[in-house]
Structure 1
């Protein structure tokens, strides 16, 4: 079953690039043909352009400039590549090592949270759900419980980031899930 677009965006925001890697592997030959026809780029350059464009897309998702997954992702990526070529952006400008490491650590720490905490934080921060809607989705009795759960989960993530939270403590209930 394919992953819903909103879930894909959430996974990208927490640093999981699997979707983009899969997109690259499926699309690189078609993209190379397009780049050769439209811009006379050799296949190797087209592949680099697609990689850099996908990394730009990832950065825009991660920092909040893209908040909704484009309906036609392929057309969106091709448009970004076209803009990149028009602006003559240099190829392979990687993230600074510190930022790449920070994102990987944050993803690892987020993945240490229990499934309920991951879901609560995802609903609130990435889907933008109000507490009432989040409460309904999570099966909480009311919005106040959803608000408290979000606060508790955020504290747990903060403690993980600071290095003082043991994710194995209190596993079991949504209120204590770590």
Structure 2
């Protein structure tokens, strides 16, 4: 990676992903060895994970969550991979009831409209404040974003209540 890091960040913000492609090409074999040694991942799964981490990193740069490149980018990205692996293990270890509840909630979430999903994702999962949500979604101001988030959450709660009611009805009928 001959490109200076500050320049790479600027290029990433403009949508030029050549820095990440080069990083992937140079690091994929090393990453696969690390993933096998640390987490018993096969090379294909390790390569998929590295690509997912690079996409996540690109999203962080593009939406302003990362404003300067970390001093040790490889270590930073491997740390992101470590977090994803740990999250997958934690999810896999959840009791079946909790896993079932989460799956049901994801099904209900997918029934929301795209805008409602996006507002909730920005606010709850990306931690955006209402000003940033408004900017990302093209709303007039933060108040509109807050109203949209409230309405989206209300819809989600109503859909979940309806789904739970239907599940209870089918359990009684069965």
Q: Please tell me whether Structure 1 or Structure 2 has the larger radius of gyration of its CA atoms.
A: 2
TM (normalized to structure 1)?
0.49
Q: Greater share of helix residues, 1 or 2? A: 2
Q: TM-score, normalised by structure 2?
A: 0.50
Greater RCO (Cα-Cα under 8 Å, separation 6 or more): 1
